[in-house]
């Protein structure tokens, strides 16, 4: 059994002490839902909470000495000061953006077809965040591991 959206939101909020998150779904100027995934938005951080539902074909472990492979899933966050916006995060969640095999050090190309905005970057770099002394945030679940990676516009 995997973590549900509320549990994921609580896990992410617990990592950013001092930040007050509002978990919102995208709406148009009139307040009508426009589709897309909920995002956690605070004064300094924007985070996903449903990206881990997407299978990126990542595994941990090896089938050696009785070890079993375990799926690795990813949630993303970005810093407002780095230029990350809710629109950029929504585009990264789009199926048009190739994120298969996403891991630290990868540059993700954002195709023009994925966004109508000319103000969004065409690339983001994905990094292992260094803000936590204990290293890369990981949430161990019975059937997978979810890690939190940082996006930085290029």
pLDDT in tens, 81-96: 999 999 899 899 888 8
- pLDDT band for position 143 (cuts 50, 70, 90): confident
Token pair of 42 as six digits:
């605070």
For residues 144 and 70, give the distance between their C-alpha atoms in angstroms, rounded to a whole number. Answer: 5
Cα maximum dimension of the chain: 58
pLDDT for the residue 57: 86
pLDDT for the residue 69: 74
Residue 1, pLDDT > 60, answer: no
For residues 33 and 66, give the distance between their C-alpha atoms in angstroms, rounded to a whole number. Answer: 48
User: In 28-141, which ranges are E strands?
Assistant: 39-41, 45-48, 58-60, 70-79, 107-109, 123-127, 138-141
Taking only the tens place, the pLDDT of each residue in 26-76 is: 777 677 776 678 899 999 999 999 999 888 888 876 555 665 677 899 999
Taking only the tens place, the pLDDT of each residue in 90-129 is: 899 888 899 998 999 999 999 888 776 778 899 999 999 9
pLDDT for the residue 114: 78
pLDDT for the residue 137: 94
Token pair of 10 as six digits:
């609580």
Residue 142, pLDDT > 90, answer: no
For residues 105 and 89, give the distance between their C-alpha atoms in angstroms, rounded to a whole number. Answer: 18
16 phi/psi in degrees, rounded to 5: -110, 75
pLDDT for the residue 68: 67
CA dihedral for 83, 95, 14, 137, sign (positive or negative): negative
pLDDT for the residue 36: 72
């Amino acid at each position: 059994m995997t973590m549900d959206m509320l549990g994921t939101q609580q896990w992410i909020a617990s990592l950013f002490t001092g930040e007050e998150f509002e978990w919102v779904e995208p709406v148009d100027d009139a307040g009508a839902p426009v589709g897309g995934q909920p995002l956690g938005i605070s004064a300094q951080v924007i985070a996903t909470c449903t990206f881990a539902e997407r299978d990126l074909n990542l595994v941990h472990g090896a089938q050696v000495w009785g070890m079993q492979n375990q799926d690795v899933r990813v949630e993303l966050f970005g810093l407002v000061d780095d230029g990350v916006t809710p629109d950029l995060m929504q585009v990264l969640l789009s199926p048009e953006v190739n994120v298969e095999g996403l891991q630290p050090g990868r540059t993700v190309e954002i195709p023009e077809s994925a966004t109508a905005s000319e103000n969004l970057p065409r690339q983001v770099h994905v990094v292992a965040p260094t803000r936590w002394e204990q290293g890369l945030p990981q949430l161990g679940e019975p059937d997978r591991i979810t890690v939190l990676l940082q996006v930085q516009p290029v």
